[in-house]
Amino acid sequence: MANETRITGLTSTPIVLHSAGSQTYVVFGREGHEAIQELICEPEMEPGLTNDQRKQLQDANIRLIYFYRFRFSGVMEKTLLLGFDDLFREP
């Protein structure tokens, strides 16, 4: 996994995740064949998150970002947001 995940469009400034506790990336399968990629980002766990970014995420009810990509003779992608109310929604 790359050491950095950059998230734009949810706060006024990009969120940059560096810590392992704030991002999880998993790949099942292999390149050129059926493959599933999942990325789970929890910005609250990032030590470098600014207070302003934290407040913007709380105000927008965003606790976690979930990205899923399935590749097999085509690509299906899905992004979901999990709020502090424990409900998933599309961005």
pLDDT tens per residue across span 43-63: 999 999 999 999 999 999 999
Is 11 exposed, middle or buried, given 0-12, 13-18 or 19+ CB atoms closer than 10 A?
buried
pLDDT tens per residue across span 22-45: 999 888 887 667 889 899 999 999
86: left (phi over 0), alpha (psi -120 to 50) or beta: left
Using the predicted structure, report yes or no on whether residue 73 has a pLDDT greater than 90.
no
Predicted model pTM? 0.84
Q: What is the mean pLDDT of the chain?
A: 92
Asked if 40 and 66 touch (Cβ cutoff 8 Å), the reply is yes
